[in-house]
Structure 1
């Protein structure tokens, strides 16, 4: 009985240690929404592009590419720490497919990146 109890204590201690070590992994920010949505076909060109996270992140890179190449932004999300980031294209987006690529740094130091595509209908 003592051997069984000892194994249980050892196993419980190991699980507790694993929980403490992995806890920082639970703290990373997660992308919870983007506008336009991944793969969305929009009838009207969006006036702004948005990223929403469940905890603060600093955007370090935000690029938009479309049918004619890289899209200039009049206002971008780079630099500010926050949960909601917006980018405003400098000109109205022409019909075609667009790809948004971003990178960021969460409060806990975790680097993040992602991309999504959307289409402006003719």
Structure 2
């Protein structure tokens, strides 16, 4: 009877350790904790910069901004170096309207991540 209880405890401990080992990499992804402008914000006039910040290094592979006139030309394009902050300037002042930013990147652990945010420009 004692052997059966001990075996049961060993199996439960092993399963718990396995679940923890699987869950830790999933929790380690470096998401985007902030954006400029903030998601859903309304800004007065064209923003000087548009960007995102991460909890860890991310290699940005795509960063697109679209607005009322279509795709927005940006002064810079994503590079190959990992960064915790990625900010770009619009090539021209943004007219009033609604904007959407879509980004994609490669996290330290090799997983592809993507997300986006929206903001509105008022005159």
TM over 0.5: yes
Q: CA deviation at 1:25?
A: 1.5
Aligned to 2:93: 92
**Counterpart Cα distance in 2 of 1:89 and 1:77:** 14
Q: Deviations over 1:63-120 (max 9, x none)?
A: 1101111110112344331111011100011110001111110111110011111000
RMSD: 1.3
**Counterpart Cα distance in 1 of 2:9 and 2:87:** 51
2:14 aligned counterpart, secondary structure? helix
Using structure 1 for the length normalisation, give the TM-score: 0.93
Q: Please identify, of 38-47 and 2-11, the stretch whose mean Cα deviation from structure 2 is larger.
A: 2-11
Gaps of at least 5 residues in structure 1 are none
Query: Within 5 Å, which residues of 2 pair with 1:30-109?
Result: 30-109=31-110
**Counterpart Cα distance in 2 of 1:103 and 1:44:** 27
CA contact (8 A) 1:61 1:78 kept: no
Using structure 2 for the length normalisation, give the TM-score: 0.92
**Counterpart Cα distance in 2 of 1:104 and 1:78:** 11
Number of residue-to-residue matches in the alignment: 122
Q: Please identify, of 23-32 and 75-84, the stretch whose mean Cα deviation from structure 2 is larger.
A: 75-84
**Counterpart Cα distance in 1 of 2:14 and 2:66:** 51
Aligned to 1:110: 111
Query: Within 5 Å, which residues of 2 pair with 1:13-32?
Result: 13-32=14-33
Aligned to 1:119: 120
Q: More strand by proportion, 1 or 2?
A: 1
